[in-house]
Structure 1
Amino acid sequence: MLAEVGWQPEQLARRLNECAERHGRAERLHLKTPYKWKKGDVPRSPWPALVTAVLSEQLQREISFDELGWPDDGFEAAPASVGLDLPWSSAGALQAAEVVNESEGMMHRRMFLTLIGTAVTAPAHEWLIAPQAKDVASTTGRPLSGEVVDHLDAVTASLRRMDDHLGSGQTLGLVRQHLSTVVEALRERSYTDSVGRRLHATAGELLRLAGWLSFDNGHHTQAQRFWIAGLYQANAAADRGLGANILGFMSCQAKDLGQLRQSVTLAETARASYPATSPKVAAILDLRAAEAYANSRSVTDTRRALDNAFGRLTDSRPEHGDPDWSYWINEAQANAQAGYCYVKLEDWPRARDHLRTALRLQGNEYTREGALRNALLATTYVQQEHPELDKALALGGQAVQTLTGQVNSARCIKHVRNLVGALAPYQRTPAVRQFRQDARDLISI
């Protein structure tokens, strides 16, 4: 099979390590280990299941344990959508939230595989055409009022803002606990249709946030499961903005996974599905589309989407009623995302202008986004025709300092790793060598 794929054993080991990391597993292989398998050794769990998954993906056909000559060790590798093929109803939405929030105990002997290709966009299209859930009222248990939902939403808002300063690693557990409270209320209390839809919207936003925190921490499959469950909540809540926002995050993840066509499809599905009653939400969706197009190297589409986003942000009339979850989109964030887009398009001057503006507007806050902006801006100074290493190293040092002592974000660490890679041609320079040493523990180089 390795000959059919055209891989050496070391390449298989690298693919397996990447697969394990992508799915949040701690295990890693030595690059020479697959040579032992070729000689007849049987790998320990979970490697047999991962080998079948990686080879099946590469060969575009299902590979079994029997074909490899290995026994089934009982470790299951299943697609991220397993258990989430449910009716688009309030009951289906409740079950989806329970399935994804109670799955941690299964993870020792089971691993969910990241969706790729058309499997990534299938949940989006199902949500887009699903009929709106009918009466979501419940007559079970003690009555629950809208005032209680107000308190639940206040906690959710606090968790969103906590993530800005602590990062994903320290916040996800709290989000899951709060989600359990909301799910319990949906299951065990009685409420009217309007209160029920609000509860589903709260659960959907928590699932969106849990997915974002998982994605930011590098756990892509877990993120996909949270987001698919969130789409069920958006349908039960009759909240197109919530669903479109979830699709925007799915688009952001798809581009990071190299699924560029799917990223554009998800971003455009999000824009097409939203009635544009909130300028902030519409701006968020335009920026997601811009990122998708930038990664696909489509300059015209990127600039058009960015122009739309900045145009919408000037429409701040209060009657639009922007949802609380859109609080984060402002001029600083829009400039930061525009800067990211121009980095991807290798337009270093435009990228630098936007990133400088974002950093100026954010002030002296030491947040995850600040670290990301510093890392991206540093990259522009390295990649320009005449590199300015002193500026790049100063900005990179700030990013490392923030990510080492204050904020946890695997996504931002990846950009620091990219910066270190861009500095490789200058590693004989003492200052560059010192920066690489300072960043070593953070990025594990």
Structure 2
Amino acid sequence: MAQLFSTLSYQLANNGNPADALLLARSAVKGVKEATPLVETLLLERVAWASAKAQDGESALRALDAVDDAYERRSPGIPESEWVYWLNRAEIDVMAGRVLIELREPGKAEPLLSGAVADYPEEHSREVALYLTWLAESYERAGALDAARQTLGRVREFASRMPSARTDDRVRHVEALV
């Protein structure tokens, strides 16, 4: 149930009412009796994202700290749910960078996004392209327009390998800023 609530929260944060998204994300965290470290990490990421979209910076930053704490508690001896197989440090840094961009902290977002993208496998073209759009936005919001344009060039290179409507939407969003 917590996974469903947090997924709905993510959708609402992106396409609906961020306040409702935040309520759902917090309910997902509170409602789960015993979460494994990675499950808790993901649920807390959704709280951070919904908080950022609702412009509740204090809650977003507290949630990001809790994300890091939960992630550090993972262990090979703790079996995780299959639906969190993809969650790793790079993915956490991407979300943290996205949250910081929403909170108008592009200078803090850039190193997280740069590091995550640098370590991401190139064969995951769709993800690399998508995450590079956030890096480009961090550059734009920091006033580094040349870096933003150069990064958009990299986005287009990766996006051409695996087209994605979501990436196309993000490219249009960032192009409008640059």
CA distance change for structure 1 residues 275 and 361 in 2, over 3 Å: closer, same or farther? Answer: farther
Q: 2:29, 2:75 → 1: CA distance?
A: 21
**Residue 355 of structure 1 aligns to which amino acid in structure 2?**
L
Alpha-carbon shift at residue 322 of structure 1 (Å) = 0.4
CA distance in 1: counterparts of 2:57 and 2:35, whole angstroms:
28
Give 1:417's aligned amino acid: R
For normalisation by structure 1, the TM-score amounts to 0.39
Residue 147 of structure 2 corresponds to 391
1:374-430 deviations in Å (ceiling 9; x for gaps) = 11111111121xx3233212211222232233142x22222111111101xxxxxxx
* Structure number with larger C-alpha Rg: 1
Contact 2:125 2:161 in 1 (8 A): no
- Three-state SS of the structure 2 residue aligned to 1:322 is coil
Query: What amino acid maps onto 2:37 in structure 1?
Result: P
Partner residue of 2:29?
Answer: 271
**Pairwise CA distance, 1:303:** 0.7
Say whether 1:342 aligns with 2:103: no
Native 8 Å contact 1:277 1:320 kept in 2: no
Identity of aligned residues (%): 26
Q: Distance in 1 between matches of 2:4 and 2:126?
A: 20
Distance of 1:308 and 1:369 partners within structure 2: 25
Please give the TM-score of this superposition, normalised by the length of structure 2: 0.93
Is this contact kept in 2: 1:368–1:403, CA < 8 A? yes
Which residue number corresponds to residue 377 of structure 1? 135
Task: Give the match for residue 90 of structure 2.
Answer: 332
Equivalent pairs counted in the alignment come to 178
Give the corresponding residue for 2:156: 400
Say whether residues 1:421 and 2:176 are aligned partners: yes
Distance 1:254 1:345, change over 3 A: same
CA distance in 1, matches of 2:78, 2:70: 12
Cα deviation for residue 357 of structure 1 reads: 1.9
Partner deviation per Cα, 1:190-218 (whole Å, 9 max, x = no partner) = xxxxxxxxxxxxxxxxxxxxxxxxxxxxx
Aligned-partner SS, 2:66: helix
Q: Is the 8 A contact 2:22 2:47 kept in 1?
A: yes
Q: What 5-or-longer segments of structure 1 have no aligned partner? A: 1-242, 424-445
Q: Check if 1:299 corresponds to 2:54.
A: no
Question: What is the RMSD computed on CA atoms of the aligned residues?
Answer: 1.5
Q: After superposition, where does 1:21-170 map in structure 2 within 5 Å?
A: none
Task: Read off the aligned partner of 1:404 and give its amino acid letter.
Answer: S
Counterpart AA for 2:40: A
Pairwise CA distance, 1:258: 3.3
